[in-house]
Structure 1
Amino acid sequence: MMAVRIITDSGSDCLPGEHPNLDVLPLSIAFGETTYSADVDLTRERFYELLVEGDEFPTTGQVNPYAFSQAISRAQEAGDDVVILALSSKLSGTHQSAVTAASQADGSTEVHVVDTKSVTVGQHILVDYALRLAEEGRSAAEVAAAVEAAADRVCLVALLDTLEYLKRGGRISAAAGTLGEMLSIKPVITVADGEVAILGKARGSKNGRNLLRQQLESAGGIDFDMPVMVGYTGLSDKLLRKYLEDSRSVWESGIAEQDIPSVMVGATIGTHVGPGAIAVAYFKKA
């Protein structure tokens, strides 16, 4: 049986070197004239310092087909089959880059591309699931099929501190953003069918955390046999810790609070949501 190499992009917030069977390809982040590769020459901490201190709003650039081709070639030279899990095709051209590169691969081993229809911790738990399946000895085709089937069960819900960054990035209208700030509105968003949607708006952080908890409860339960993950943007995880304490009842049946994997969300997504956001990702019960 061929070994299976998983390739993803920095939109997943997986770190390079996190797992021996995983390659993480960076999206680019530009502050004015300076372009960085996420998690390669720009740490997550430094990114948030630049985001908060700098005058320039950063822009992100997709992973190009050449970078995917290089990663596929490296895997094929080692004799590995490849499964690529790219961030939602509706949010970035990165998935299309992967499809292009896969179509040009030499055919010496299998290459499969899966649209995760998700991003950040939602994409991350699909990568974790793929790695688990590969370790169990599943073939590349089986891994790709299972991940594709599971993608529709991923719930990704986030509480933002502000709509400012979505507004600046052109993701929502200026009027909606301004109104939100005047009322100190905390939006709760999700990624549904690969696109960002606003689930609700709460006044103040406490109401926002309550709204986030309600969304979890209304989703019909967490499948604790599958990976779960939480994330935060900015330099402090204090808000995330507070949320986990507030919503202990949602988790305690399946996982201890201190065992829930947590990540600092990187530059790819941090650019669009800004600091002070928290996110939760899990699989709904099948």
Structure 2
Amino acid sequence: MEKIALITDSACDIDNETVIKYNIRILPFKIIYSDREYTDKIDITPEEIYDNMINEIPKSSLPAIEDIEAVYNSLVEEKYTHVIAVVISSGLSGTYNAFKLVSEQFPDIRSYVYDTKSTSVCEGIILKKCGECITAGKSFDEIVSCIPSMKNNMHFQFVFGTLEYAKKGGRIGRISGTIGEFLDIKPIVGFDEEYGQCFTYAKVRGRNKSLKKLVEIGKERTEMKNCDAYIVHGNSLEDATKVYESLKMLPGIKNVYLIGQISAIVGVYSGPGTIGVCYVEN
């Protein structure tokens, strides 16, 4: 009989209820300051990172190989037969390769490591759907075969409060930062399907118009198909709530979930003021 474990990294954003319900194992990134190293989602919060950004923008490192090995060893002890790992884009981190490397060291557990070519709530939604499939009694092969279509039904866009942190962190991809900041251009950002790197989905001028654009994208999406919407934010609950209230008014949006803070590791590069919305086709 199959016993399937779900694993991810700490860039994943989803509600704690889902994490507990489906026993999702989360491998933490490291948040590195000049005088100290922290473990993401364990001894540092996104709020603490944002509050300290005026003094220092930290660096980060991917989950340690020994930590991934420790999780796999625990799964062996718990008699798991299969692993589904859903991880941050390989275009942003070496986490995918690290998970693949470790999984190959445990031939008695059959593993599938999925590169989301995205991050944050996209990881979380896929894991939630995988958990639902496990509960429904679907097999490992059935679930794995469905994951690409799960991802194809997801559309994740976000806007930064400022491009400053993405530029300094080197994760800005194909987004022009300096001129945009000068003109108060707020690019709506997405992830390309080929490389999983950031690109400019649309451009608007000013904060209010950028938030309205996120809602307009939802309206356009629901003209084709009904959707659920998942919202994350970087220390910007007030603006996230405005987007939430606007999306609830759209007839094609069936459910709206205000997930909360973007994980600390994503917050290092996105900075305060980030608002992201993932539309998931029903």
What TM-score do you get using the length of structure 2 for normalisation? 0.88
Contact 1:231 1:279 in 2 (8 A): yes
Distance between the aligned counterparts of 2:251 and 2:270, measured in 1?
25
8 A Cα contact 1:87 1:115, kept in partner: yes
**Given the alignment of the two structures, is residue 96 of structure 1 paired with residue 97 of structure 2, yes or no?**
yes
Deviation at 1:16, TM superposition (A): 7.4
Picking from 203, 212, 215, the partner of 1:213 is 215
Question: How many residues get paired?
Answer: 275
Structure 1 residues not aligned, in runs of 5+ = none
For 1:250, what is the secondary structure of its paired residue?
Answer: coil
Paired residue secondary structure (2:266) = helix
Deviation of 1:241 after TM superposition, in Å, equals 0.8
For residues 153 and 96 of structure 1, the distance between their equivalents in structure 2, rounded to whole angstroms, comes to: 25
User: Counterparts of 2:79 and 2:31 in 1: how far apart (Å)?
Assistant: 32
Shift of 1:115: 1.3
The answer on whether the counterparts of 2:29 and 2:60 sit within 8 Å (CA) in structure 1 is yes
Q: Offset at 1:232?
A: 0.4
Post-superposition offset of 1:94: 0.2
Secondary structure, aligned partner of 1:7: strand
Opposite residue 198 of structure 1, the aligned amino acid is T
Distance 2:86 2:68 in 1: 11
Q: Which residue identity lines up with residue 216 of structure 1 in the other structure? A: G
Q: Secondary structure at the match of 1:118?
A: coil
Contact 2:92 2:171 in 1 (8 A): no
Q: After the TM superposition, which residues 48-127 of structure 1 pair with which residues of structure 2 at under 5 Å, given as runs?
A: 48-51=50-53, 53-54=54-55, 56-80=56-80, 81-105=82-106, 107-127=107-127
> Do the aligned partners of 2:186 and 2:205 also contact (CA within 8 Å) in 1?
yes
| SS of structure 1 residue aligned to 2:250 | helix
Runs of 4+ more than 4 Å apart: 14-17
Partner deviation per Cα, 1:232-268 (whole Å, 9 max, x = no partner): 002x41001112223334366512x5xx242210111
Distance 1:62 1:262 in 2: 23
Cα distance, 1:179 vs structure 2:
2.0
C-alpha displacement of 1:282: 2.7
Q: Which position in structure 2 is the counterpart of 1:163?
A: 163
Please name the residue that 1:268 is paired with: 265
Match of 1:36 among 35, 38, 60: 38
For 1:126-173, what per-residue CA distance to the aligned partner results, in whole angstroms no more than 9, with x for missing partners?
Answer: 111111111112222322222233222221110211111111112349
> Identity of paired residues, percent?
25
Partner of 2:281: 284
Give how far 1:24 is off: 0.5
The equivalent of 1:242 in structure 2 is 242
What RMSD over aligned residues (CA atoms) do the two structures have, in Å? 2.3
Tell me which amino acid in the other structure corresponds to 1:50.
Answer: N
SS in 2 for 1:49: helix
Is this contact kept in 1: 2:86–2:113, CA < 8 A? yes
1:151 & 1:92 partners in 2: Cα distance? 19
Q: 1:180 to 1:232 in 2, by over 3 A?
A: same
Q: What is the aligned partner in structure 2 of residue 197 from structure 1?
A: 199
Q: 1:130 to 1:166 in 2, by over 3 A?
A: same
Q: Provide the secondary structure at the position in 2 that maps to 1:12.
A: coil
Work out whether residues 227 and 253 of structure 2, in 8 Å CA contact, stay in contact via their aligned partners in 1: no
Letter in 1 for 2:146: A
Aligned to 2:143: 143
Q: Would you say the 8 A contact 1:163–1:187 is kept in 2?
A: no
Would the aligned equivalents of 2:244 and 2:258 in 1 still touch at CA under 8 Å?
no
Aligned with 1:167: secondary structure? Answer: helix
Cα distance, 1:36 vs structure 2:
0.9
Secondary structure of the residue aligned to 2:117 is coil
Aligned mates of 2:261, 2:7 — CA distance in 1: 20
Contact kept, 8 Å, 2:218 with 2:279, in 1: the verdict is no
The DSSP-based 3-state class of the residue aligned with 1:263 is strand
Q: Which moved more, 1:15-24 or 1:151-160?
A: 15-24
